[in-house]
Amino acid sequence: MSLQLTWNEEIPQDIAQVGRKILSEDNPYRRVGDEVQGFLSLEDFVPIYAPDGRGAICPVVLALVTIFQFLENVPDRVAAEWVVTRLDWKYALHVPLTWPGFHFSDLSNFRLRVLEHGQERLVFEKVLDWVRSHGFLKKHGKQRTDSTHVLGQVARLSRLELVWETLRKALRAMKREAPAWYSTAIPSAFHDVYSERQSDWRLSKEEVAQKMQQAGSE
């Protein structure tokens, strides 16, 4: 996968016009959009992409969304939706109002690429330094705010969803192939919990751990 130098260094006119009307000057996402060129660029990501091949989703966008996920405690699926629907995120990311976004799996693939090439500090420390310098990310007690911790926390948000989605698809396949057996062998309580798509973004760290243990034991 290759790096395509197509990121909008300037904020697109349509989102700029709306954003500057509805976002205050001290809004954190407006500040990111106005100042991102000073702390992050496409050249920062050159070491983790091949010189040729299919063009990748802009890594500046994916890196910023990863930080936004950490700040707002949301998993990949929700973040991919907010990239499309939230005007403040679009302003910060320098994407137009009609930008359709990307598939949520692109976020996990991007994190793996960064980690595999050992670039988590080179890239994310720049963003975190800027975020901390403006007071948008504050330490609470012994909370860590280094790049590896941020990537780990965001990955944790998605891991439980992956387990739930695996169980949901397995249940759906079993019910389709053997409906009679399914109705007698699968407890109704298990079906009620895992047959519908779920999101963990409103759960606390303790609740995520509890739900993960519950899913594993069942």
**Contact status, residue 44 vs residue 81, Cβ threshold 8 Å:** no
Residue 194 sits in which domain range?
Answer: 158-217
Note whether 211 and 184 are same-domain residues. yes
pLDDT (tens digit per residue) in 101-140: 999 889 988 888 888 887 777 667 777 788 778 877 665 4
Q: Euclidean distance between the first and final Cα of the chain, in Å?
A: 39
| CA angle, residues 51, 53, 58, in degrees to nearest 5 | 80
Residue 162 confidence (pLDDT) above 80: no
Residue 34 placed within a domain = yes
The Cα-based distances of 27 to 23, 38, 146 in angstroms read 6, 17, 23
Note whether 31 and 125 are same-domain residues. yes
| Most confidently modeled range among 53-57, 88-92, 145-149, 171-175 | 88-92
Question: From the DSSP assignment, how many helices (H) and strands (E) are in the chain?
Answer: 11, 0
**102, 129, 152: which is the final residue of a domain?**
152
d(CA 113, CA 106): 10
**152, 170, 200: which is the final residue of a domain?**
152
How does residue 141 score in pLDDT terms, banded at 50, 70 and 90? very low
**Contact status, residue 152 vs residue 143, Cβ threshold 8 Å:** no
Cα 208 versus chain centre, distance: 17
Note whether 79 and 162 are same-domain residues. no
| CA angle, residues 52, 53, 59, in degrees to nearest 5 | 85
